[in-house]
Structure 1
Amino acid sequence: MPEPEQELEIEIDRHLQSPIYLQVCERFKTAIAAGHLGPGDRVPALRGLATQLSVARGTVELAYSILVDEGYLEMRGAAGTFVSSSLPPSVVRRSVRKRGEHGPEQRAAQRVPRRAPGVVDLGNDAKPLSPGLPALDAFPRKVWSRLVAYRARSGDRAALIYPDPAGYGPLRERIATYLGLSRGVECAPEQVFVTSGYRTTLELILRCLARPGDRAWFEEPGYLIARNLLSEAGMGIVPVPVDGEGLDVERGKALGANARFAVVTPSHQSPLGVTLSLARRIALLDWANRAGSWIVEDDYDSEFRYLGRPLPALKSLDRNDRVIYCGTFSKVLFPGLRLSYVVVPERAVARFDQLTRSLNMGPPYLFQAAVADFIAQGHFARHLKRMRALYAERRLLLVDALRRACGQAITMDLPSGGMHLVVTFSHDAGVPVDDHAVAARASESGLAVRPLSAWYVNSRSKHTQRGLVMGFANVADADDAARLARILKRALDG
């Protein structure tokens, strides 16, 4: 049964200088903010509203198109036009307050603390252009559901008892085999520890190997989540600049030659996307060996490379067992899995094994077993192959749409790998664009782009690049890319 249209009295003033289509837009925004229209409500049909207002149908169509672009409305074909089910949180909160709704969900939302100014949250966001979010529409859900159901029905006692703290044995074997074939990382299954996410992996590494007062080289700019966790753990951060060849090892030695760790993303630097050159890799390994330091290699987005084969991991060059290799299934499958893994040096296996058992930190059996089956039955390799082709297409769609919509206002390079791209702003000398403000305006319009400057320790330095980091994995088609580019252009224009 079709949903009834919400009764909505819209009045326009033909004496105003503001065009009628803009007046219609403002009336809808006001109705949504006041709570008269809520997410999922059906709005009047084009012809009906045009008749009600005594205006041309094209006028209403233009207003609806703008509201759709801005994320207020969504068109569902023959079903009609509806208030977007994914309205920006600020709009929804205003609507809830106006309606006087105080149910459990609203009360819970009100208890969530406000984020501190300048803090960028990279998690729990499935809005368009979210960096690091894989193509959820392309994941083989039927295959996955079958594998999970099979394991749930199997009656295996392993599903009912505490999981192995180091990880499900067959999954550790599959990961070791996969890394040896695809990444050049030779390791035994006993060196592989399965964790519940990259944060947990870093915590495990620090608890096993870090000492009070230790310092860590960190890419500048570098991965926000890792930097925040290291800081919270009391680690001294040594920001080492990144250039076209990746981490500047010589600069790192000048800034902190005796650092205990170097945390790097050599295959696809986060966020700039550059690859650590061979010369820099050898220099980094040589420094770690001489200093007795550890290199934490986050093999970020390494599976998705669009020019040639994926590059070998830094760990594949490690002859002195100084590299701790970190990987995750969050980006190659889906983040809700909460499954990551770490390959530890042989000399540290006993310490890691002892700590994981002491903490009893093994992830749940069910998903681990399903992922092991997913790999063993060939679904994993086929999925990666399909995603490389799909992401290569979608990155072109977004880049082309941004170039058409924004022109000379932005600068960007076609990324050679990964699932995100970096856009920097063109501006007059001495007048940098506030990328936090641009990202905030984009967020108000329903997008999840991130300010590039937030990736820098010295985010307010005059040398800090200003721009946006955005994902392209979930761009549906050319029309979707064009719509998103128009929203970003409006956010940039202010």
Structure 2
Amino acid sequence: MDYAVMLSNFEREGGRDASARIPQQQRLYDCLRAAILKGDIREGTRLLPTRELAADLGVARNSLLYAYERLAEEGFVHAKRQGTVVASVGLRQSTAVAPGEAPVLSRRVADMVRPGAGMDDLLPFLPGTPALDEFPLAQWRRCVERAWRDAGTADLGYMRYDDNLTLRQAIAEYLRVSRGVRCDADQVFVTDGTQSALDLCARALAEAEDIAWIENPGYGGARNAFLAADLRLVPIPVDADGLAPGPQHWRDTPPKLIYITPSHQYPLGAVMSLERRLTLIAEARAAGALIIEDDYDSEFRHHGAPLSAVQGLADDAPVVYLGTFSKVMFPALRIGFMVLPRALAPAFLRTAGALMLRGRIIDQLALADFIEAGHFTRHLRRMRRLYAERRMALEDALQRHLSGLLTVSGGAGGMHLSARIDVSVADTEVSRAGRAHGLVLRALSPFCLPGTQAGYNGLVLGYGDVPERKMDHLAQQLRSTIKTASVDSCVM
């Protein structure tokens, strides 16, 4: 074996810059270890003596001694009377992989919704992104600093599921006043965000093969959580009054879980009517089903007062209420919450404690301080005004530049709007073309379950992080994108 060629190839594959920064003795060890694992140096092979190999490679003998000794310590080689020999530890492997034997992902994840690339966070119109430059970072930093200053050694470990009563009390008080939720702190469970809460609901509140109703089109995160828990998904259509199950749905596919976004349906923006809400509670109670109410951006209703939550419309409603601080504050905070039915709370909280280790108590203490000091309410009030102004600016710009190309639909709330494409071009083609124009244009059709996209051809446009002054220019870019995609579609 030509060790010099082997070392040269190893350094070339790893990159010259990287190998130049690694000490010589480490490079020699890495190279020999990789060659043994790949089978380039076979089991039972006697390595050259360190003095001879050092001369061949033009390296210091001490560097080779280090590499040989480390390989021996890890069991890759044995030092014997006849020299250093590669150990027999079952490293021989077939050089070819038979068809069908390569590792694959499970079937349950095949239909999951894939998130966009990380760079999307920097581009206009990404749904769900708040106005990050408007967040009171200095006030938040002071709350975090106070939390660390007051922290003890016990705060550095894992939290119990019922820890941090201060934050749970603050959340319960906020929900009672602002959302009409009927709860106390014992029913509140702090999570690592809405997705974490959905995963817990799917695993703890239903059995594999139980039926879960989801809005169609609807939130991909709920679809992913339910698929991962092996639930059977039944798509329920959405109309102007929200989730619209028919008698046949209750009769033929009675659900265990019903996922809804009633205050601002995601992604269409419909607001569930009071009649529809009360009917859903009654039907779910009769069927023994649990409603999972995702109230992800209900704080931002641009006309009139925010509607009360479904959870608060009836005593002991069969509703698990989900909320998040990612939209109101900032996504990296990764703190959300669940409000559980009173009879279910004790058992669920014990189970959740077994399913999920808790940490990040400093962030939670800082959040409780942020809420109690009034910073949260003041920030929320400012954001309501700001998002209403940004939505109005976007709608005006779309009317000026895209009349005949797009039609806005849904209620006026939240941080995104849905718009139907009125020309003959697929929304997925417009989405792809948008990247060339520096835009995130989420196609509407992929929000539907596979095979149910008929009739849904549009875009979901987030405006939370888009300054009002940029709306006109971005609308013109959007017009160019749709026209480009239309021409390309005709050519194909």
Whether the TM-score (by the shorter chain) exceeds 0.5 is: yes
Letter in 2 for 1:247: L
Q: Is the 8 A contact 2:434 2:478 kept in 1?
A: yes
Q: CA deviation at 1:225?
A: 1.2
What is the match of residue 476 of structure 1? 467
Structure 2 residue corresponding to 1:409, chosen from 401, 405, 408: 405
Take 2:153 and 2:395, find their aligned partners in 1: how far apart are those partners?
A: 50
Corresponding residue number in structure 1 for 2:50: none
* Structure 1 residues 146 and 226: alpha-carbon distance in aligned structure 2, compared to 1, 3 A threshold: same
Does the CA-based 8 Å contact 2:211-2:253 persist in structure 1? no
- TM-score normalised per structure 2: 0.73
Contact 2:113 2:220 in 1 (8 A): no
- Aligned residue identity for 1:133: T
Structure 1 residues 149, 341: closer, same or farther in 2, change over 3 A?
same
- Cα distance in 2 for partners of 1:426, 1:360 equals 46
Looking at structure 2, the residues matched to 388 and 482 of structure 1 have their Cα atoms a distance apart, in angstroms, of 21
Q: CA deviation at 1:465?
A: 1.4
Q: 2:235 aligns with which of 236, 239, 244?
A: 239
Report deviation, 1:409: 1.1
1:177 corresponds to which residue? 173
Q: 1:252 to 1:470 in 2, by over 3 A?
A: farther
- Cα distance in 2 for residues equivalent to 1:170 and 1:228: 32
Match of 1:304 in 2: 300
The 1:166–1:130 alpha-carbon spacing in structure 2 relative to 1, beyond 3 Å, is farther
- The one-letter amino acid of 1:491's match is T
Q: Write the distance in 2 (CA, Å) between the matches of 1:116 and 1:186.
A: 38
Matched with 1:200 is 196
Equivalent of 1:121, from 88, 112, 115? 115
Alpha-carbon distance, 1:163 to partner? 2.1
Indicate which of 476, 479, 487 corresponds to 1:486.
Answer: 476
**How far, CA to CA, are the matches of 2:225 and 2:382 in structure 1?**
33
Q: CA 1:256–1:343 in structure 2 vs 1: closer, same or farther (change >3 Å)? A: farther
Q: Following superposition of structure 1 onto structure 2, how do residues 27-426 of structure 1 map, counting pairs within 5 Å?
A: 120-121=114-115, 124=118, 125-126=120-121, 127-250=123-246, 253-254=249-250, 256-413=252-409, 415-426=411-422
Please tell me whether residue 451 in structure 1 is matched to residue 447 in structure 2: no
**Alignment partners' CA distance in 1, 2:386 and 2:256:** 40
- Cα distance change, pair 118–282 in 1 and its aligned pair in 2 (3 A): closer
Conserved in 2, the CA contact under 8 Å of 1:424 and 1:467? yes
Identity %: 41
Give, in whole Å, the separation in 1 of the partners of 2:376 and 2:298.
15
1:467 lines up with 2:458 in the alignment:
yes
Work out whether residues 185 and 313 of structure 1, in 8 Å CA contact, stay in contact via their aligned partners in 2. yes
Q: Deviations over 1:386-433 (max 9, x none)?
A: 000000111111121222222211111474210001111112xxxx42
* SS of corresponding position for 2:270: coil
- The Cα shift of 1:123 comes to 7.7
SS at structure 1 position matched to 2:403: helix
Measured after TM superposition, the shift of residue 237 of structure 1 is 0.8
Deviates more, 1:281-290 or 1:120-129: 120-129
Offset, 1:457: 1.1
Q: Does the 8 Å contact 1:339/1:363 carry over to 2?
A: no
8 Å CA contact 1:438, 1:492 repeated in 2: yes
Deviation at 1:318, TM superposition (A): 3.0
- Other structure's SS at 1:143 match: helix
CA shift in 2, pair 1:159/1:231, >3 Å: same
Q: Measure, in 1, the Cα distance between the counterparts of 2:204 and 2:320.
A: 12
- Cα distance in 1, alignment partners of residues 247 and 399 from structure 2: 35
SS at match of 1:362: coil
User: Structure 1 pair 321/423, CA: closer, same or farther in 2 (3 Å)?
Assistant: closer
Runs of 5+ consecutive residues of structure 2 not aligned to the other structure: 1-14, 20-103, 485-492
> Separation in 1 of the partners of 2:391 and 2:147?
36
What amino acid does structure 2 have at the position aligned with 1:450? R
Contact 1:264 1:295 in 2 (8 A): yes
Offset of residue 441 of structure 1: 1.2
Partner-residue secondary structure (3-state), 1:421:
strand
How far off is 1:279 after superposition? 1.1
Residues 202-242 of structure 1: CA distance to partner in whole angstroms, max 9, x if unpaired? 11112221112200111111111111221222111111111
